[in-house]
Every structure is written in structure tokens, then in C-alpha cells.
Amino acid sequence: MPNAIITGATHGIGKAIAEKLLSQGFSIAICARNVDELAALQSTWQQQYPAATILCLQADLSNKADVAVFADEVLKQFPVIDVLVNNAGIFYPGNIADEPDGRLETIISVNLFSAYHLTRKILPLLKQQRSGHIFNMCSVASLKAYAQGGSYGISKYALLGFSDNLREELMTDNIKVTAISPGATYSRSWEGSGVPAERMMECADVADMLWAAYTLSATANVEHIVLRPIKGDL
């Protein structure tokens, strides 16, 4: 049974990806800060996919030490890692000139450093097995600045740069790296925004594109996936 790690998987895009992989016969490891959400998901998923190993571990990915503990526990349980999805992220609107002091550090710690540190912990195994596929959840904000983007936009530009550098570095190790840059995708973070759900993509759309990229031949790699709502960015 193949194994995957998905961060930020208790809701939204991460949850859709986790459920897609479970439905395709994967065992998975996820983490989040909310213990109750993790327990509820573990119970539901284990009933739906009794053959899968499902690790739901508490971790704050803004904390480097928590990332290390999470990675070490997963590596104890999974002798092979087939997929790593660095999906954890936070968003706060604001302008660089007047957003609160410390906002950049807060967002970078989750949106960039968590992916950097977790990937570095998993890479020795991927290099040893000479296989694996790393997906980094970027954003259309990785491609174009927009009003109120602030530190979030900076972090997503950086994550795309991380993806490009990582891909170049790992080509000779037979490890694939794909950046995914979705536009507006309906999840609970949009609830109460006043934007109709039909104006946005579905989380399952992103999960389906990840699966399509993963299932290509061993000699093909999709470097960057960009998805937008049919009517364009909001």
C-alpha cells in the first residue's frame, strides 16, 4: 500500500487530497493543531477505509520542533513515502506598509518554513528509495501581486521559488516536484465572505489535478499546475 503525508488536511484542499488518496488505496499521515478535528477525521476515515493506516498527529507546523517530531513519527510508521503534500498555509489580508508587525514572520513560518523543514526531514528516505513525488501548494498569488496581498503574497512567491529550486536539485534522484497554484477555491475560509460558491472552484478539483499529475509515467513530471475559476480570479 502506498503512503502519503499531507499537511493542513483537516479541511479544504488538504482534506480533499487526503480523501482522494485514501480512495485510491493510500495510507496517509496528516497533522493539525486541533486534536478534536483530528480525532473526528480519524474515526470517519478509518470506518471508510479500514485497510488503510491513518496517522492523525497533533503538530503546530509553525514550530520547527513540532515539524521534526511529526516527521520522525511518520518515518517510524511508514518505511516508504510515495507522496508528500506541503499544503499547510494561513492567509491574512493586508498591505506591507501597514500590516501588523510580525505578520510576515507568522505567515512565512507556516506557508514556507513548514514545507522547507518537513521536506528536509523526509528527503533522506526519498533519496534512499530513489522515488517519490513532492507537491507544494502554492497559489495564483505566487504568480501575480494583488491588492491586500502583503505578506501572504510574499510567502507564496517564496514557496514557488522553493519548488523550482527543489525540482532542479532532485532531478538526478528520480524525485518529482510539482507546484500547484490554485485560484479561489471554496472552503470554510470563504464562508461568510459573500462570494457565491459557484464563483469558485471546488477543493476536489485541486485534488483531481494532483492525482492526474501523480499518475503519469515515471519519466514525466508536471512542474507547475495553475487552476483558476472559469470566470477568472476574484
Q: Using CB atoms within 10 A of its CB, is residue 46 exposed (0-12), middle (13-18) or buried (19+)? A: middle
Q: How far apart are CA 8 and CA 211, in angstroms?
A: 17
Q: Using CB atoms within 10 A of its CB, is residue 188 exposed (0-12), middle (13-18) or buried (19+)? A: exposed
Tell me phi and psi for residue 101, to 5 degrees: -60, 135
Q: By three-state DSSP, how is residue 177 classified? A: strand
From the candidates 92, 116, 146, 152, give the one annotated as an active-site residue: 152
Q: Of 197, 59, 82, whose CA–CA distance to 129 is shortest?
A: 82
Q: How far apart are CA 84 and CA 31, in angstroms?
A: 13
Q: Is 186 a catalytic residue?
A: no
- Give the angle 79-2-116 at the CA atoms, nearest 5°: 65
N residues, the chain: 234
Q: Catalytic residue numbers?
A: 152
